[in-house]
A and B are shown apart, each in its own frame.
Chain A
Amino acid sequence: GENVEQHPSTLSVQEGDSAVIKCTYSDSASNYFPWYKQELGKRPQLIIDIRSNVGEKKDQRIAVTLNKTAKHFSLHITETQPEDSAVYFCAASVPDSNYQLIWGAGTKLIIKP
């Protein structure tokens, strides 16, 4: 079945710098890749997603890139701000398994002032 690996588990960056979180997946049939942000004590919320027919998607300071050949996708956050501090989860949707979302283990992003 599908397996999603997420790296790094913790990422500390200086405020204003960029942050990159990478996920790899195993099932080439996966076709939908969302990213969720979970602030401390809160519920996960979707911040951006990408489908397999697109290579890159941007939304202000956030972007996601997808490399289907290598089976990996990445979250890019530019000009990081204190409110970006959170845990970020990637996931992949598997059509052959009722589109079940398989989740990465999460990355704790720390923004240093």
Chain B
Amino acid sequence: EAQVTQNPRYLITVTGKKLTVTCSQNMNHEYMSWYRQDPGLGLRQIYYSMNVEVTDKGDVPEGYKVSRKEKRNFPLILESPSPNQTSLYFCASSLAATAYEQYFGPGTRLTVT
């Protein structure tokens, strides 16, 4: 089944404790992206990757890191999480960057205390 998976789905952590949210797609998509969703603010892009070893900042990259060493995986790293990073995170992938449907993962609900 074609899908985007994320892990974990729920995470409660403390300020400053490094964490990684994994994202994987099995559709051989070139483009992958991370979003955060907060009430009233819609979807805001954190980082995106147009292909392996190519990553770029989105609208809200501060406090996050990503890597794209393999085509299928695009992990999101929070080196030192803070309470303002409490949010719902979505990973998405599409065939290419140019005007194709984005397939979203199920989301990761992160709480930083």
Q: Which A residues contact B (CB, under 8 angstroms)?
A: 6, 9, 31-32, 34, 36, 43-46, 49, 51, 89, 93, 95, 98-101, 103-106
* Complex: chain A residue closest to B107, CB-CB: A43
B104 and A44 within 8 A (CB) = yes
Q: Does B65 sit at the interface, judged by CB under 8 A? A: no
**B: interface residue count bin:** 20 to 34
For B99, what are the chain A residues with a Cβ–Cβ distance below 8 Å?
A: 31-32, 49, 51, 93, 99
Q: Does B41 sit at the interface, judged by CB under 8 A? A: yes
**How far is A54 from B33 in the complex, measured between Cα atoms in Å?**
27
With contacts A31-B99, A51-B99 known, is A44 near B43, CB below 8 A? yes
For B107, what are the chain A residues with a Cβ–Cβ distance below 8 Å?
A: 43
With contacts A44-B90, A89-B42 known, is A99 near B106, CB below 8 A? no
Q: What are 22 pairs between A and B in contact, CB < 8 Å?
A: A32-B99, A34-B102, A43-B90, A43-B104, A44-B43, A44-B90, A89-B42, A89-B43, A93-B98, A93-B99, A95-B98, A98-B48, A98-B50, A99-B99, A100-B45, A100-B48, A100-B97, A101-B45, A103-B42, A103-B44, A105-B40, A105-B42
Given contacts A6-B42, A46-B102, A104-B42, 16 further A-B contacts (CB under 8 A): A31-B99, A34-B101, A36-B102, A43-B104, A43-B105, A43-B106, A44-B43, A89-B42, A93-B98, A98-B50, A98-B97, A100-B45, A100-B48, A100-B97, A103-B43, A105-B42
**CB of A47, distance to nearest CB on chain B (Å):** 10
**Nearest 6 interchain pairs by C-beta:** A32-B99, A43-B104, A105-B42, A99-B97, A103-B43, A46-B101
Q: Does B58 sit at the interface, judged by CB under 8 A? A: yes
Q: Does B56 sit at the interface, judged by CB under 8 A? A: yes
Residues of B32-58 whose CB lies within 8 A of A: 40-45, 48, 50, 56, 58
**How far is A50 from B50 in the complex, measured between Cα atoms in Å?**
22
For B58, what are the chain A residues with a Cβ–Cβ distance below 8 Å?
A: 100
With contacts A31-B99, A51-B99 known, is A45 near B104, CB below 8 A? yes
**CB of B90, distance to nearest CB on chain A (Å):** 6
A106 and B98 within 8 A (CB) = no
